[in-house]
C-alpha cells in the first residue's frame, strides 16, 4: 500500500475542497471519529467558499448591535486598575458580537492547565477563519488564590477557569478579525460610557448606587480610582468605573481584584508580604526612636569607660555586664578579666581557653587576671548554697 504524501495537493478552485489526499487520509482508512471531524471541517470550508462574507456588511452589523441600547454598549468595554493606571479595552461581549457577524469562522476555548502550587489556571482560546484558513490561538492565566494567599475551593477554581477561557477566546477573536472592522463599534461604546457633562451628576449617583448593590463601599471605590471623593469622578474616571462594574457583574473579573479592600493602620497583616512589611517598618521606627533619643554607640562606649573607671577606683571587679565593649578600652588587667569572663560564657574549656598572647612570660599578671575572671564567672554561675542536697 502506498501511503506517501503527494508532492502537490490539488484543491477544487470553486469549493476549495482537497482532491488528492494521501492514502492514509482517504475515507475508510481512519476511525469513525476522525472521519466525522474531517467531513465536518470539509463541509464548513465548502460552505464558507460558497457564501463568502462581506466586510462592509459585517462592520455595519457589528456597529448596529453595539448601538442597540446603552446597556449593550456598556458591556462592550472592560476596565481594570493596574499599577495606578486603568487599562481599558474591548470586552468578551464585544468579541462575541464580532465573531457572530464576521461569519465563516470557528471559535472555541478550553482549560489546559491548573497549577495549585503556583496558584493559577491557564486557558486557551482558538479562532479559525474558514475562508482564509488563518488560525489564531491565545492563552490566558487567571489567579486561583484569595487576597490572603489561600487557594480557591474546587468550585471557584472552575469558575476562574471559565473566566480565563472567555478572556483567551476574546484575545483570539480580536487577533483574528481585522481591527478596522470593529474599531467604529468600540469607539461608539466608549462614547456611550463616557457620556457628557450635562449628565455627569446623575451618572455619578447611579454608579455609586449600582456598586453599593454588589457590596462595594464608597471607600473601596475612591481607593481604586485614586480620588478623595465623588466630586473628583470626572467623565473619564466615571467611564472606567462603569466598565469595571460591568465586568464584576458579568463575572469576567473578581470584585476584590478590581476594588481591593481598604486596610486601616490597626488591621493585622493579610499575608506573608504584609507581615514582612510590618517587620521592616518596625525596624525603621526603632532606629528613628533611637536617633531621636540621642542614643549612639559613642555614648555607650563612654558609659562603659566610666563604669570601668569607677570599678577600678572602688577596687571591685566589674561584672560581666559592665565589661568594656572593645579590647583596647581600659587597662590590660581589665581587658584580661573581660576576656576570661567571655571565654567561660562561650563554653570554652579552662585548660584550652587561654589566648596565645597571654602565654608569654612577661604577661603573668594578665594571665592570672584572665583565669581569675574565668573562675569567678564559673562560681557566679554555680548553684546557690543549700539549693542542692548533699549526700
At 104-133, the pLDDT tens digits run 999 999 999 999 999 999 999 999 999 998
Q: Using CA atoms, how far apart are residues 293 and 284, in angstroms rounded to an integer?
A: 14
Cβ atoms of 170 and 123 closer than 8 Å = no
Cβ atoms of 334 and 355 closer than 8 Å = no
The confidence score (pLDDT) of residue 257 equals: 74
| Cell reading at 209 | 448606587
Cβ atoms of 369 and 333 closer than 8 Å = yes
The confidence score (pLDDT) of residue 107 equals: 95
Q: In whole angstroms, what separates CA 6 from the centre of its chain?
A: 52
Largest CA distance in the chain: 116
Q: Using CA atoms, how far apart are residues 238 and 195, in angstroms rounded to an integer?
A: 9
Cβ atoms of 146 and 152 closer than 8 Å = yes
Q: Where are the alpha helices (DSSP H) in the chain?
A: 32-50, 55-66, 70-75, 92-102, 154-176, 179-194, 200-213, 218-225, 235-250, 255-258, 272-293, 297-314, 332-345, 364-380
Q: Which residue has the cell 480580536?
A: 174
Which residues contact residue 247 at a Cβ distance below 8 angstroms, ignoring those fewer than 6 apart?
A: 78, 79, 80, 91, 253, 258
Q: Using CA atoms, how far apart are residues 236 and 92, in angstroms rounded to an integer?
A: 21
Task: Find the length of the chain.
Answer: 391
How do 85-90 and 77-82 pair as beta strands?
antiparallel
Model confidence pLDDT, tens digit, residues 357-378: 888 888 888 889 988 888 888 8
Question: What's the sign of the alpha-carbon dihedral 250, 196, 90, 44?
Answer: positive
Cβ atoms of 208 and 218 closer than 8 Å = yes
Q: Using CA atoms, how far apart are residues 230 and 25, in angstroms rounded to an integer?
A: 66
pLDDT more than 90, % of the chain = 28
| Cell reading at 350 | 579552662
Q: How many CA atoms lie within 13 A of 54 on its CB side?
A: 4
pLDDT more than 70, % of the chain = 71
Instruction: Tell me which DSSP letter residue 25 carries.
Output: G
| Cell reading at 194 | 463616557
Instruction: Tell me which DSSP letter residue 23 carries.
Output: G
**Helical (H) or strand (E) element with 141:** strand 135-143
Q: Using CA atoms, how far apart are residues 277 and 292, in angstroms rounded to an integer?
A: 22
The confidence score (pLDDT) of residue 8 equals: 54
Instruction: Tell me which DSSP letter residue 229 carries.
Output: S
Higher pLDDT, 238 or 17: 238
Cβ atoms of 144 and 126 closer than 8 Å = no
pTM over 0.85: no
Cβ atoms of 176 and 105 closer than 8 Å = yes
The confidence score (pLDDT) of residue 13 equals: 65
The answer to which of 19-23, 30-34, 93-97, 220-224 has the lowest mean pLDDT is: 19-23
Residue 26: pLDDT above 80? no
Higher pLDDT, 321 or 59: 59
Model confidence pLDDT, tens digit, residues 35-57: 788 888 888 888 888 899 999 99
Amino acid at each position: 500500500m502506498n501511503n506517501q504524501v503527494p508532492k502537490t495537493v490539488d484543491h477544487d478552485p470553486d469549493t476549495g475542497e482537497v482532491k488528492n489526499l494521501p492514502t492514509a487520509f482517504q475515507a475508510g482508512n481512519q476511525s469513525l471519529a476522525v472521519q466525522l471531524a474531517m467531513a465536518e471541517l470539509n463541509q464548513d470550508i465548502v460552505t464558507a467558499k460558497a457564501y463568502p462574507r462581506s466586510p462592509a456588511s459585517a462592520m455595519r452589523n457589528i456597529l448596529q448591535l453595539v448601538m442597540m441600547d446603552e446597556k449593550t454598549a456598556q458591556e462592550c468595554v472592560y476596565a481594570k486598575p493596574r499599577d495606578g493606571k486603568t487599562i481599558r479595552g474591548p470586552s468578551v461581549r464585544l468579541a462575541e458580537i464580532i465573531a457572530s457577524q464576521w461569519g465563516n469562522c470557528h471559535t472555541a476555548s478550553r482549560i489546559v492547565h491548573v497549577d495549585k502550587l503556583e496558584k493559577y489556571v491557564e486557558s486557551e482560546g482558538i479562532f479559525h477563519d474558514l475562508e482564509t484558513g488563518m488560525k489564531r490561538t491565545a492563552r490566558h492565566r487567571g489567579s486561583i488564590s484569595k487576597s490572603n494567599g489561600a487557594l480557591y475551593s474546587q468550585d471557584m477554581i472552575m469558575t476562574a477557569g471559565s473566566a480565563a477561557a472567555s478572556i483567551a477566546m476574546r484575545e483570539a477573536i480580536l487577533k483574528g478579525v481585522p481591527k478596522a472592522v470593529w474599531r467604529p463599534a468600540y469607539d461608539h461604546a466608549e462614547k456611550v460610557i463616557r457620556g457628557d457633562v450635562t449628565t455627569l451628576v446623575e451618572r455619578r449617583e447611579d454608579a455609586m448606587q449600582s456598586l453599593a448593590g454588589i457590596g462595594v463601599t464608597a471607600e473601596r471605590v475612591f481607593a481604586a480610582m485614586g480620588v478623595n471623593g465623588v466630586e473628583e469622578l470626572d467623565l473619564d474616571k466615571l467611564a472606567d468605573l462603569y466598565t469595571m462594574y460591568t465586568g464584576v457583574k458579568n463575572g469576567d473579573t473578581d470584585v476584590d481584584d478590581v476594588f481591593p479592600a481598604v486596610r486601616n493602620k490597626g488591621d493585622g497583616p493579610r499575608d506573608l508580604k504584609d507581615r514582612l512589611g510590618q517587620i521592616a517598618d518596625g525596624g525603621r521606627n526603632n532606629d528613628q526612636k533611637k536617633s531621636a533619643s540621642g542614643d549612639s554607640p559613642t555614648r555607650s562606649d563612654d558609659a562603659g569607660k566610666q563604669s570601668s573607671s569607677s570599678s577600678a577606683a572602688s577596687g571591685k571587679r566589674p561584672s560581666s555586664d559592665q565589661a568594656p565593649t572593645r579590647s583596647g578600652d581600659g587597662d590590660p588587667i581589665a581587658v584580661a578579666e573581660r576576656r576570661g569572663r567571655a571565654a567561660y560564657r562561650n563554653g570554652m574549656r579552662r585548660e584550652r581557653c587561654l589566648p596565645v598572647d597571654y602565654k608569654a612570660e612577661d604577661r603573668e599578671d594578665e594571665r592570672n587576671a584572665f583565669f581569675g575572671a574565668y573562675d569567678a564567672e564559673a562560681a557566679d554561675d554555680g548553684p546557690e548554697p543549700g539549693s542542692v542536697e548533699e549526700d
